[in-house]
A and B are shown apart, each in its own frame.
Chain A
């Protein structure tokens, strides 16, 4: 039993403890706080599994933005925290049995995984020269499985449209979320003036470094979205009206550029989304820049919710 194994077991135990807390806590707000802590600890687990890109995404999106989303929802529905009756004991016992069976089956599957495991790593390494990027995960996301990433952008847009469709008829086309007003000389406004310049630099750096080091468009876009949300919450800026043409252009920029490059690959190259070898890196970087803007705007808008004020 090495020290590393002992530390990993301790980490796994703490993560499990947080997960149990999230399920059994009495108060919704406490459960959500537990979930946020769980997400951040899970990022450490991802680092131990040698997946630093995923750790960044987990901490930023699941822990950070997901935490803000759920905390906001818990706070807004706290008034309705009626104590609904807990499920019938028979249902709880049956659910516990089902959960235990599923967990046991998955644990058996983990212990029976083949060793050496089948893997696509050699194929990814062999084809890395075609794009010239050093980060294998970025290679997979932007070149080998680019179709998945393109469709994922569309899924993000669909979720946003679905969220907007929940607005009341008279607010359609208006501003999402309430207008926040913080003391312009207070602490929050101070932070919202000081942190976003630093955050924007860090976000752009994470995007740029994603070519050869852990990072990429998703992580960078999330940091940019977080800075925008900070400025929003301090009342320094207001959400744009969803009928604004500029906003809609930014939202479709990512998928459009991606689709255009894909169709270009169809016309001038071998197949849809095939990059010509000489231009692969500039094309990928261009797509990533457009994607980062779209991701930042979409994630931010997903968080502020459906329009609640009409556009004046």
Chain B
């Protein structure tokens, strides 16, 4: 069992766990964390493909590795935006939930955008 196979199977399970967490967890912050888990599993699969492409004296194919670096940075910026939205939701309504009929704080700033 080479390193690539072990971590490839590990990555497949992580993707499944992230997907499960994304669907099942009701709180938005937990959904964001599960989404990050899902993303890191996908990046790990890229890494496995890169490792299998080791040739020409390199330990791994550098192109998927560069794509993963780009992907991690973009995923972080998406997470930052999602967390910003969550905090704004919390500041505006007092509750950090996606329930449509959740009670909001009385006297919240509706006029103040």
Please give the residue numbers on chain A whose beta carbons come within 8 Å of chain B beta carbons, in ascending order: 1, 4-5, 8-9, 12, 15-16, 19-20, 22-23, 28, 31-32, 35, 38-39, 42, 45-46, 48-51, 53-54, 57-58, 61-62, 65-66, 69-70, 72-74, 76-77, 80-82, 84-87, 91-92, 95-96, 98-100, 102-104, 106-107, 109-111, 113, 115-122, 124-126, 136-137, 139-141, 144-145, 148-149, 152, 155-156, 159-160, 162-163, 166, 168-170, 216, 218, 295, 298-299, 302-303, 305-306
Contact = CB atoms under 8 A, between A and B. Distances in A.
A295 to B, nearest CB: 8
Contact of A23 (B1, B20, B113): B20
A306 B48 CA distance: 37
A155 B72 CA distance: 12
A140 B76 contact: no
A137 B62 contact: yes
Contacts of B68: 51, 54, 57
Contacts of B112: 168-170
Nearest to B71: A152
A140 B63 CA distance: 6
Interface of B: 1-21, 23-27, 29-30, 32-34, 36-37, 40, 43-45, 47-63, 65-70, 72-81, 83-88, 90, 94-97, 99, 109, 112-113
B9 to A, nearest CB: 5
B65 to A, nearest CB: 5
Contact of B72 (A57, A81, A120): A57
Given A119-B54, A152-B70, A168-B112, 13 more contacts: A12-B7, A22-B21, A51-B50, A54-B69, A57-B68, A65-B76, A86-B24, A98-B23, A99-B19, A110-B11, A120-B61, A121-B62, A163-B84
What DSSP secondary structure best describes chain B's contact surface? Answer: helix
What DSSP secondary structure best describes chain A's contact surface? Answer: helix
Contact of B58 (A61, A106, A113, A125): A125
Closest 3 pairs between A and B when the two form their complex, measured CB to CB: A103-B16, A50-B59, A119-B53
Contact of B5 (A31, A110, A117): A110
Contact of B73 (A61, A84, A98, A140): A61
A166 B84 contact: yes
